[in-house]
Structure 1
Amino acid sequence: MIGCADERRRADVRVAGRNGIDSVGVSDDGRSLAVGFFGKAPESLGPANFRIDGGRRVTGIAVVAVETWASEDPELADAVRLTVDRVGDLSAYRLSIVECGPIGKPGTRPYPGFDPRYSFADFTFGSCGDVDCAPAEECPPQTDAVVEIDYLSKDYASFRQLLLDRLKLTMPSWTERHVPDIGVMLTELLAYEGDRLSYQQDAVATEAYLDTARLRVSVRRHARLVDYLMHDGCSARAWVCLEADDEVTIPKGHFRFSTLPGPALAERDLRGAPEVFEPVHDEALRLLPSRNRISLWTWGDHDCCLPAGTTSATLTDNDRTLCLEPGDVLFFEELVGAKSGLPADADHTHRQAVRLISVTEAEDELYQQKLLEVTWAREDALTFSLCVNARGGPDCVDLEVGVARGNVVLVEHGGRIKPEDYDVPDPAPEEPQCPRNCGCGCGETEPELAYPPFPVVVQPQLRPQPITQSVPFPDPADVAAAQARWLVGLPGRIRARLTALWRGELSEEDIKFVTVLFGAKLVKKIGLREHPRRALRYLLARFDDLLETKLERLKDLIRQARAGYVLTAANEGWEIGQSWGCDEGSKLDEHRSAFRGPASLATQPDPRAALPAVTVTDRKGDSWVARRDLLESGPADRHFVGEVTDTGATVLRFGDGRNGAKFPLSGKLTARMRVGTGVAGNVGREAISSIVFRGTDVPGIRSVRNPLPAKGGVEPEPVSEVRLRAPQEARRRLLRAITAEDYATLAGASPNVQRAAGDLRWTGSWYEAQVAIDPLGMEVAPSWLLDETRAGLYRYRRIGHDLSVFSATLVPLDLTVHVEVLPDHIAGHVRSALRRVLGAFFQPDRLTFGTPIRVGQIVAAVAAAPGVRHAEVTRLERLFGPPGTALATGVLPIGPLEVARLDDDPSRPENGQLTLDLAGGR
């Protein structure tokens, strides 16, 4: 009988629903057989349905009993247990399931429903001992002569020689070696392909490690594994100020800026290779003549200035034409020199852009002048002292030195180009699998299912270069922080509005607002229409109690925003509108200019957050946007990654259906992009001098200029630097707070915190992380700084640690210094000089946590003052506390969460006292 190694019929019999003998097992004593079937066992099986043939010494074995083992699971097969009359020998036997014969003996025909091929099975009654029971292979595979292969062959020449040597053994009669010969041609073709595959193997092994990788894309992906973001450059940004003769509105997408001379140009006038700048925000541009030059109001005084650190100013607003709102950008600029009155003498470093956070109308009744009170964020505080007006010039007249300008636009280097189409390859047709032979030359073949087609990898390479690398603005974290600050002030604004209503007259709109706020039932109960003043007084008195639920929900939204979650107008904005009024809900739009963050951060882009300015549209019309990676992208997210190669070209990589959506096959894709990036965009001040119109023409543009140089443009990060920095990234970035030093380091990262100190205190049940804040430029940390620091630390804290953030504990000092004055110096002058010296010594920003006060340093500072012959500290103690040993030891210790304080303010002696005991002098 034929023997086959691959029994495919067995599977086909199961699929067809036919039965058969699957296995035969023999018990240890040899008196019973366990027979397994393909399916369920027939119900009427008896000893006459089983016949055992074969055997050498023991023959004629008969089945005397049949026991059926039925399975309760309908999907599992049954089995039977056969009891035989005697034990057989070690030779081969065959068990067959047959129909009963005429006299109750087993017949010869297979049992109905059983496949003829599997109605019998061979078995043996015992073990073969040390002899292999498996039958000898009847179709042994053909073996070729062993050939020695040189596995060091890695190039074309060695592969060619290796193949020719092999052919000498397998084809001795083939001796042709001429190039036109078909055999030589095939040999050289295989050698070429082997050389290519060998090079690919070497390249894969080289690019598999960060230290040996040479391709930029490989290094980028290796660095990402250790959370190091390799950047591909960044585009520069600048503030552009425009002046218009008339009020105009330029539609979005119809203008950009250039370094070509001329205030207004058309698209066709972009000749040569000028640097082009696009507006960062794709929105319409409204220009007002009143914003060309805005005077600062000094309330009739002269020789005035805005000191460094200023966050507010008063603007003249004749006829109320400025129309400024929170979120608008103002640019402060020094026009002329304060003494000469000449524009050439103006300090060009005294220029700064600020983003307004509040605008309030006011009026100077003395001079009948309409005003605007504007404020901006602390991050935008003036970094210089801006002179507003002065008396000078050749004629010694009043000069307007500093002004503010509106009509300010944030622009970014890189111009849009015409969209380009790219073909997407069609999937390869499925090819049937090569047929399999039985292995012994019989020529029998059976069809087999085709292999699945290889996935089509869509990685188009953008033809234009360099592609603009743009940092998304505003940053979602800044938007969320601004929304949190806006929500914090919401109850105060509502109280102020109710107070204004209490003082004035109620309109139908005001009644509707109060009804939304407190509910129609309560408004009707207190009689708002009949007795408005009494009702509003009641609502203001019980404001917190009546709105307790809404205030608690407001706290939840504030916590979400402080955690970095951007609140949307469609969800949280709608909720605020239903709870606090439609006016407040519409102001929570995440796209509002008031939520774009400080102006100082707009021109400081982080290159590691830059993404290619490319948008892809597929054949279905869906838009795909760029991301840093696809690790957090789901199957429904239309995201791709733009990777810059060593040649500067940008390759787009799409998802695989798990990390990012698969790109739809076939058709075309359209890429809209911007070109221009790097240090070429870092143009100097006054370099951007024209606005370029696209498809429209707006007359009346007087001037276009960038008062400050563009900055932020950088070239792609070199691969050599990434190899050095990436392995150290995990040590440089602190992403968790375990020790007290971790908490202090993370809290001190805020720009408003000078230093921070931390300590872990055992509360009796768990640890509490106590963080003390030493604010920059302030004595006591305000509540907003404590809240922001607490929210920032919460995501880093260790599980099980409570968190407590508070201002530093200030320790007022009691200091007495005995000073001997030289005879030729006036004691009063020396006293004033010593107070200035010690005031600088105990400046709040100089002393920080745990800084001990040393007697020797005080003596050295006092002795360095002019007119001092001798100095001695006679008292150095804590103002409130037991006496210490500072004079004996020379050091007054300060705790780790304490900061020494000595204000020397006679009106506030509790903040430290300084006594100067002077002797001598005049």
Structure 2
Amino acid sequence: MTDSKNRLETLLDQKNFTGIDFVEIISSDQKTLHVHFLKDTVPPLQGTVKATTTPDGKTVIPAAQITGGETIPTVPVNPINDATDWMTDREGRPILILTVVQLGDFSLYTLTLNSPRLDLFFNQSIFSFKALSPSDLDCETPTPVCPPLQEDIPPIDYLAKDFLSFRQALSDFSVLRYPEWQERSEADFGVMFMEALCALADDLSYTQDRIAAEATLATATQRRSIVRHARLVDYEPKPATAAQVLLQLDVLDNVPIPSGFAIASTQGPDGATINFEIGTGLIDPQTGLQNLTTYPVNHLWNEIQPYCWDDSQQCLRSGSTDMWVVGQGFNFTGGQALLIETQGATTLDPKIREIVHLVDGNPAIEQTDFLYNQQVTHIFWIADDALKFDHDLTKTALAGNLIPAIQGSRASETFAIPADESTPSTRSPQPLALRRIGANGTPNYLYTLQQAPLAWLAQDTGDLLPLPAILLKQGSELLDWTWRRSLLQAELFESAFTIDPTSYSLTAHNSDGSIMQDYDGDGGDTIRFGDGIFGELPAGGTVFQVIYQVGGGARGNVPADSIIYVNAAAISRISAVNNPFPAAGGADAEPAERVRRLAPQAFRAVQYRAVRADDYQAAAQTLPWVLRAGTVFRWTGSWLTVFTTPDPKGSEGITLQEHTQLIELLNRYRLAGYESYVPEPQYRSLDLEISLYASPDAFRGDVEAAVLANLSAAKFPDGSTGFFYVDNFTFGTPLERSALEAAIQKAYGVAGIISIMYRQRKITSNYLKLPETLTVSANAILRLDNDPSRPERGSLKVIVEGGK
């Protein structure tokens, strides 16, 4: 293609051809045009500018034609009279006088002349009928912004996922881009650098796959991801729970034993120690506070012998609710539990064991067998505990000191919240919580417990979820923080925390005091604090004390008579320990496969039906040209009719093909008995009148142009859009005055805004002051195109004061 500048020089140097220089609007009615030419020609142009026909004789080419308008595409030109429609300028160059039948619109038009004396490249000119309209804007046409050149994109093998495939892909690329580089020796620097890139790409590919796998319930492997996916459909995976057991103690004193006292242990199948501590758990489920229950003991309750008044009464029959025991001074209390244990017929037979609870009021009556001068006590237990078996009193013994215990061991540690970054960093004597910045810019504090796993306690009611055995106390005042299953349940200023089934590691302190940390995976439990919106955000420097139980799982369900080892801390008070019944209630964490199976299937289901308005909107928005959609149901006489209006992307209208496509789609989704209609969107056009001050060093015309550009409905070559771009407003989107003022203030040279007046077409006739929020109905869309050729789509007038 010939360069336009060189062609112009060539055209001016020869004598046979000329071209159009420019078009001038002469009359105020915009119906008279002067066409100026580049130079005079021999012979002259008169008589050569005329209509002709094509060689086939079927098409007439007019002498002059004006095309390219928006609302008025073509403007007819009156016939040319060679006697009256020609004149010359001061330099003797010809001027053609054209008259048109009607006015053109505000868009740019192209004038084309038919003459053999005109160069085919310079036989047309672009002009505007509104050139004489008053304007403060710079009349020079801005240089068009060319879109960036398309890069030479090499072929990409999307199946390359590991080191070898990446190396092969880069080798193939080097052959195309650098054909002279053919070295493939491993000692070559280029090959070494290429393989280093492949190794890095291999690591990134693995990381990408691992992250992508955690995005769905079906492929997630991390416990944290599985729990979060299941919670999206209100399914709470069960954590590992600690086993509970009833212990029988032989004590050396009568001092009550507090809850949490580490008392006994046993060995699991793998030889590891399984610890048990006194009580029903660290937390009182009724109050949520620490369980401070104490359990009374008495050395006389270690072993209690039954008493037979006669050999004929050596059998304690089933259904009995009372019996006699040897001795007095036991100090039995109402509700106290006693173990009745009878040896089997042989050593291989199991022992018969039953637990009874003494009645309230008078659980025991002390008497004396005067015949044998024997002090005895008559005990009574509740009817619900009536014996289920016969007991041979010659092989029977009773025991008290029955205390509940839970599998696990207690741990305690302190940690601190990192100090504010604005203060000098000092090394804290306590471990520091990890600081992560959330999506809203607020910090999140995480602290991973040093021992794992955290014990969870099953509640008495089977349908209630387990509770964590953990207490969190703040500062020296030991203020209690409340555990929440999810921080979404926490109030704004509530001192709440939650537990994440994950682990973070503190790897190092940087020289500036900041912390380096890494996510370690599922092997731990982490305290997560609120962010100031859901739960209180702890202040920097706050010290916390955490007390928790470690244990849990099915390994704690040990059989009867297996807990026989007294811990070193209790050996001064306990001489022997045993569990007459097996431990129960211990369970491992719910397996991932079970969670995937039991979590509602709606999590992975793709719905191909529309029932609610949201369903119709979601179905419509699956089409690539639909930005958003609005749906309403209306009773049309005998049935409900569904009206779904689309808001197209980058446009204010939908084509017939798009209209048909959406109708067919919704007809596949709709329920039987419903009709589906797709009306076009309803637009509410605005007229704005904005008055503003310009900076003293800015030209008023430049300021006006900048404001008009910022508030335009255009999409610019760099991808940015004006304030009133069609996709920025959809159904029911209000016009916020603050957002509009911000867009105006961003324009060059704007010193301040005086007023903003508005008029909504077909609703208000006079200009009114723009309110803080201008709302529209849910089925309407605001628009302001500021297109002079289409004033019905809204207009924008900018009045600039000040400046220069």
* TM-score, normalisation: structure 1: 0.38
Name the TM-score, length of structure 2 as normaliser: 0.43
Structure having the higher helix fraction is 1
Higher relative contact order (CA 8 A, sep 6+): 1
